[in-house]
């Protein structure tokens, strides 16, 4: 739109659940990668990406793969409900060190951002 590329993942994520059958988790990862690979090297100005702490140690798998497959300027996490503590977890997680500055911290519902 107007020269800006926006990616909204909806529920598309690498849903890797602890306690789930390994075959299901492998299939979910394969399916996710296939979809994200369609965007390979795409320049994305704004991305809305699920970050769900219920995935425990796997909560950044989807984001990390997306960032390493595409070229994203600004990332807005979503799917964390009202649990804004997710941003503290993100800041401390070494997985995102290379692109932490691109992740926008949301502190409350209805917050507005100027990009």
Q: How far apart, in whole angstroms, are the C-alpha atoms of residue 12 and residue 52?
A: 12
State the pLDDT confidence band at 42, using cuts at 50, 70 and 90.
very high
Q: For residue 94, how many other CB atoms are within 10 A of its CB?
A: 7
Closest by CA position to 53, among listed 92, 21, 81, 11 = 81
Residues 6+ apart with CB under 8 A from 27: none
Q: How far apart, in whole angstroms, are the C-alpha atoms of residue 108 and residue 71?
A: 27
**What is the percent of the chain with per-residue pLDDT over 70, rounded to a whole number?**
100
Q: State the residue for tokens 């497959």.
A: 69
Q: State the residue for tokens 């598309």.
A: 12
Mean pLDDT of 31-59: 97
Tens-place pLDDT, residues 55-72: 999 999 999 999 999 999
Cα atoms in the 13 Å half-sphere on the side-chain side of 85:
3
Task: State residue 6's pLDDT score.
Answer: 97
Task: State residue 1's pLDDT score.
Answer: 80
């Amino acid at each position: 739109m107007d020269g800006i590329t926006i990616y909204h993942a909806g529920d598309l994520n690498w849903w890797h659940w602890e306690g789930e059958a390994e075959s299901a988790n492998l299939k979910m990862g394969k399916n996710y990668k296939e979809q994200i690979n369609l965007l390979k090297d795409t320049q994305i100005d704004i991305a809305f990406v699920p970050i769900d702490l219920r995935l425990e140690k796997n909560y950044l798998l989807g984001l990390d793969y997306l960032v390493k497959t595409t070229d994203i300027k600004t990332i807005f996490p979503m799917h964390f409900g009202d649990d804004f503590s997710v941003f503290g977890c993100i800041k401390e997680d070494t997985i995102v060190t290379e692109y932490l500055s691109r992740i926008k911290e949301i502190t409350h519902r209805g917050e507005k951002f100027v990009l």
